[in-house]
Structure 1
Amino acid sequence: MTLPIELQNIFIHKQKSYKMVLILVLIEEIKSTRLREVSLTKIKERFLAYFQEREANNLPVDAPPSRMAFRWADLPLNRVQYMIDSQIEALSSILDHPNGSYTLGFKQEYYDRWDQSVLDELYQYAQDELDTYYAPPQSDFSLREDLLNIMSSYTQAKAQPLTGHPLAEYVRKTVPEHLKSLPFIHNHFKVQGSVGRGNWATIPWLAVMYPQITDTIQRGVYVAYLFSADMQHVYLTLNQGLGEARSHLGRAESTTFLQERTKEIRAQLPENRMNRSDDIELNDGRLGDDYQTSTIAYFHYEREHMPDNEQLITDLWDAMDSYMFYIESQAITPNTVWTTVVHDEESDEDFSTQIRDRDVQETLSNIREYIAQRGFYFPAHLIDNFYLSLKARPFVILAGISGTGKTRLIRLFAEAVGATALNGQFRLIPVRPDWSDPTDLIGYKDLSGTFKPGPLTSVITEASQPENRNKPYFICLDEMNLARVEHYFSDILSLLETQSWQGRHIVTDPVIPAATLELESDLERYGNLGIPENVYLIGTVNMDETTYPFSKKVLDRANTLEFNSIDLMQLPKLREESQQVVEAVPVEQSFLRADYLQLIDAYDHYADLITRTTERLVTVNEILEDIHAHVGFRIRDAVCFYVIYNERFGLMSEAEAFDLQIMQKILQRIQGSQSGVRRVLVKLLRLCLQDSVRIPSPMEDDDVFWAQWDRGNTPPQATYPQTAHKLVDMIVRLDEDGFTSYWIS
Structure 2
Amino acid sequence: MPLPNELSTIFRSKQKSYEMVLILAMLEEYNNTRIKSFSLQRISELFLSHLRQREAEGKRVDAPPKKLALRWSDVTTNQLKSLINTPIQALSSVIDVHDQKQSISFKPSIWEKLDENGIEDLRNYALTEIENYYNHFNNHVAIREHLEQVMRDYISAKTKPFSGHQLGTLFRKTIPEQLRRLPFIDEHYKIQGSIGQGNWANIPWIAILDKRITETTQRGEYVVYLFAEDMSCVYLTLAQGVTGPGEKGKKESHEYLRQKVKQMRELLSLDHFQKDENIHLTTSGIGRDYQVSTVAYVRYDRDQVPDDEQLISDLENLIENYKYYVDTIEKSGTEVEADMIEIGAESLDPLPVKERVQTIQTYIRHKGFQFPDHLIENFYLSLKTKPFVILAGVSGTGKTKLVKLFAEALGATSVNRQFTLIPVRPDWSDPSDLLGYKDLSGAFRPGRLTEVLLEATKPSNRHKPYFICLDEMNLARVEHYFSDLLSVLETQEWRDGRIVTASLIGKESLTTDHDQQTFGNMYLPDNVYLVGTVNMDETTHPFSKKVLDRANTIEFNYINLAQYPDDALADDDELATQVPNSFLRSDYLQLVDVYGEYRDLVHRTTEKLVKINTILEEIHSHVGFRIRDAICFYLIYNERFQLLSEDAALDMQLLQKILPRVQGSGSSVKRALLQLMEVALDKSLPIQKMMDDPAEPNFKWNAGSSSESVKYPQSARKIGFMLRRLEEDGFTSYWLS
Q: TM-score, normalised by structure 1?
A: 0.59
User: What amino acid sits opposite 1:371 in the alignment?
Assistant: I
Equivalent position to 1:522, from 515, 520, 523: 515
Equivalent position to 2:362, from 369, 373, 379: 369
1:223 aligns with 2:258: yes
Distance in 2 (CA, whole Å) between partners of 1:632 and 1:468 is: 36
Q: CA deviation at 1:521?
A: 1.4
Q: CA deviation at 1:374?
A: 1.6
CA RMSD, Structure 1 to Structure 2 (Å): 4.2
Report if the CA contact (8 A) 1:398-1:406 is conserved: yes
Q: CA deviation at 1:569?
A: 1.1
The CA deviation string for residues 626-674 of structure 1, in whole angstroms up to 9 with x for no partner, is 1111111100110011000101110111011001101100111111112
The CA deviation string for residues 425-474 of structure 1, in whole angstroms up to 9 with x for no partner, is 11111111111100000001112221110000000000011111111100
Would the alpha carbon gap of residues 703 and 570 (structure 1) be closer, same or farther in structure 2, given more than 3 Å must change?
farther
Would the alpha carbon gap of residues 188 and 694 (structure 1) be closer, same or farther in structure 2, given more than 3 Å must change?
farther
Distance in 2 (CA, whole Å) between partners of 1:543 and 1:412 is: 23
Equivalent position to 1:389, from 359, 364, 382: 382
Instruction: Determine helix, strand or coil for the equivalent of 1:697.
Output: helix
Largest Rg, 1 or 2: 2
Would the alpha carbon gap of residues 657 and 728 (structure 1) be closer, same or farther in structure 2, given more than 3 Å must change?
same
Would the alpha carbon gap of residues 576 and 567 (structure 1) be closer, same or farther in structure 2, given more than 3 Å must change?
closer
Report if the CA contact (8 A) 1:507-1:532 is conserved: yes
Instruction: Determine helix, strand or coil for the equivalent of 1:477.
Output: strand
Would the alpha carbon gap of residues 388 and 429 (structure 1) be closer, same or farther in structure 2, given more than 3 Å must change?
same
User: What amino acid sits opposite 1:551 in the alignment?
Assistant: S
Would the alpha carbon gap of residues 570 and 328 (structure 1) be closer, same or farther in structure 2, given more than 3 Å must change?
same
Q: Once the two structures are aligned, what percentage of the paired residues are identical? A: 48
Equivalent position to 1:425, from 406, 418, 435: 418
1:710 aligns with 2:705: no
Distance in 1 (CA, whole Å) between partners of 2:426 and 2:704 is: 39
Would the alpha carbon gap of residues 584 and 544 (structure 1) be closer, same or farther in structure 2, given more than 3 Å must change?
same
Aligned to 1:615: 607
Aligned to 1:56: 12
The CA deviation string for residues 288-343 of structure 1, in whole angstroms up to 9 with x for no partner, is xxxxxxxxxx99xxxxxxxxxx99x989x9899999997735364546xxxxxxxx
Aligned to 2:715: 723
Matches within 5 A, 1:270-349: 272=268, 328=336, 330=338, 332-334=340-342
The CA deviation string for residues 484-521 of structure 1, in whole angstroms up to 9 with x for no partner, is 10001010011111111121211111111122222111
Aligned to 1:127: 191
Matches within 5 A, 1:651-690: 651-690=643-682
Q: CA deviation at 1:725?
A: 0.7
Instruction: Determine helix, strand or coil for the equivalent of 1:603.
Output: coil
- With 688-697 and 601-610 compared, the bigger mean Cα shift is at 688-697
Would the alpha carbon gap of residues 516 and 399 (structure 1) be closer, same or farther in structure 2, given more than 3 Å must change?
same
Would the alpha carbon gap of residues 636 and 701 (structure 1) be closer, same or farther in structure 2, given more than 3 Å must change?
closer
The CA deviation string for residues 115-172 of structure 1, in whole angstroms up to 9 with x for no partner, is xxxx99999891343279886877979xxxxxxxxxxxxxxxxxxxxxxxxxxxxxxx
| Number of aligned residues | 491
Aligned to 1:169: none
Aligned to 2:627: 635
1:456 aligns with 2:491: no
Instruction: Determine helix, strand or coil for the equivalent of 1:624.
Output: helix
Aligned to 1:467: 460
Would the alpha carbon gap of residues 211 and 668 (structure 1) be closer, same or farther in structure 2, given more than 3 Å must change?
same
Instruction: Determine helix, strand or coil for the equivalent of 1:538.
Output: strand
Distance in 1 (CA, whole Å) between partners of 2:516 and 2:541 is: 36
User: What amino acid sits opposite 1:616 in the alignment?
Assistant: K
Q: CA deviation at 1:709?
A: 1.9
Segments of 5+ residues of structure 1 without an aligned counterpart are 1-51, 61-70, 72-118, 142-177, 190-209, 226-235, 240-268, 275-297, 300-309, 336-345
Distance in 1 (CA, whole Å) between partners of 2:13 and 2:494 is: 50
The CA deviation string for residues 590-624 of structure 1, in whole angstroms up to 9 with x for no partner, is 00000001111111211111111111111111111
Distance in 2 (CA, whole Å) between partners of 1:615 and 1:633 is: 13
Equivalent position to 2:593, from 601, 618, 621: 601
User: What amino acid sits opposite 1:188 in the alignment?
Assistant: T
Aligned to 2:736: 744
1:184 aligns with 2:271: no
The CA deviation string for residues 550-574 of structure 1, in whole angstroms up to 9 with x for no partner, is 1111000000000100111112221
Equivalent position to 1:498, from 488, 491, 494: 491
User: What amino acid sits opposite 2:13 in the alignment?
Assistant: N
Q: CA deviation at 1:219?
A: 12
Instruction: Determine helix, strand or coil for the equivalent of 2:428.
Output: coil
Report if the CA contact (8 A) 1:214-1:221 is conserved: no
1:211 aligns with 2:246: yes
Distance in 2 (CA, whole Å) between partners of 1:704 and 1:619 is: 23
Instruction: Determine helix, strand or coil for the equivalent of 1:130.
Output: strand
Q: CA deviation at 1:692?
A: 3.3
The CA deviation string for residues 223-274 of structure 1, in whole angstroms up to 9 with x for no partner, is 359xxxxxxxxxx8459xxxxxxxxxxxxxxxxxxxxxxxxxxxxx996569
Report if the CA contact (8 A) 2:667-2:691 is conserved: no
Matches within 5 A, 1:5-24: none
Distance in 2 (CA, whole Å) between partners of 1:55 and 1:380 is: 59
Aligned to 1:104: none
Segments of 5+ residues of structure 2 without an aligned counterpart are 1-7, 17-92, 94-171, 181-188, 193-206, 211-220, 271-294, 297-313
User: What amino acid sits opposite 1:686 in the alignment?
Assistant: E
Report if the CA contact (8 A) 2:690-2:698 is conserved: no
Report if the CA contact (8 A) 2:363-2:572 is conserved: no
User: What amino acid sits opposite 1:720 in the alignment?
Assistant: Y
The CA deviation string for residues 185-238 of structure 1, in whole angstroms up to 9 with x for no partner, is 56437xxxxxxxxxxxxxxxxxxxx6269765799856359xxxxxxxxxx845
Report if the CA contact (8 A) 1:367-1:413 is conserved: yes
Equivalent position to 1:405, from 398, 401, 405: 398
Equivalent position to 2:349, from 354, 371, 375: 354
Report if the CA contact (8 A) 2:488-2:501 is conserved: yes
